[in-house]
Amino acid sequence: MNARPEKDEYAEFYETYVSLVEETDIISALQNQPEDLKRLLAEVSAEEENFRYAEDKWSIRELLGHVVDGERVFSYRALRISRHDTTPLAGFEENFYVANSNFPNIKLADLIEEFTLLRQSNVFLFKSLTGEMWKKTGTASDAVISVSALAFIMVGHVRHHARILRERYSV
């Protein structure tokens, strides 16, 4: 069971991500993204990896590091909620995370590999869930969120940042 989430299963600010997912088979969408991301970033040279399109914007490495952080946070939420953990889960401040990371010193290829391995692991998690687990809701960032919504958010989050890479970084 991995039906498209209803709008009451996630906070309005996540619509940006959920709206980017047209597929009904979210498992396949999750599985295909690492290869899509590899293809997108294949032509980025080592010199371009720390490129910023504006002074106050993330580098390509930092952007991909943020995608990795997001993958971890969203999957952690999905795990806890699917296991009926009712503890409200805190949000995460993406700029603070990136500012306190080592992403500028991590090669893009390593960040891509890290994302790929995380996503493979997360696909196993989502495949293991029962229909009841997919529908389970919890609280994250002071808002209701379902496990199903988290899977769609994960796919949409990557697509959102891939679009930014194409449009603003000319990748």
Q: CA torsion, points 93, 70, 153, 125, in degrees to nearest 10?
A: -140
Structure tokens at 153: 């958010």
Contact yes or no for 132/90 (Cβ under 8 A)? no
Contact yes or no for 161/58 (Cβ under 8 A)? no
For all residues of the chain together, what is the average pLDDT? 97
The predicted structure's pLDDT at residue 1: 56
The predicted structure's pLDDT at residue 3: 82
The predicted structure's pLDDT at residue 167: 97
For residue 140, the cross-strand partners are 89, 143
Quick one: average pLDDT of 92-120?
98
Quick one: average pLDDT of 50-61?
97
Cα→Cα distances 147→62, 67, 129, 138, 141, Å: 27, 19, 9, 8, 14
pTM of the full structure: 0.97
Residue 2 has pLDDT above 90, yes or no: no
> CA 129, CA 79: separation in Å to the nearest integer?
10
The predicted structure's pLDDT at residue 109: 98
The predicted structure's pLDDT at residue 21: 98
> Which domains, from first to last, does the chain contain?
7-168 (1.20.120.450)
> CA 110, CA 114: separation in Å to the nearest integer?
6
Quick one: average pLDDT of 17-34?
97
What is the pLDDT confidence band of residue 27, given thresholds at 50, 70 and 90? very high
What is the pLDDT confidence band of residue 139, given thresholds at 50, 70 and 90? very high
Quick one: average pLDDT of 109-130?
98
Quick one: average pLDDT of 109-128?
98
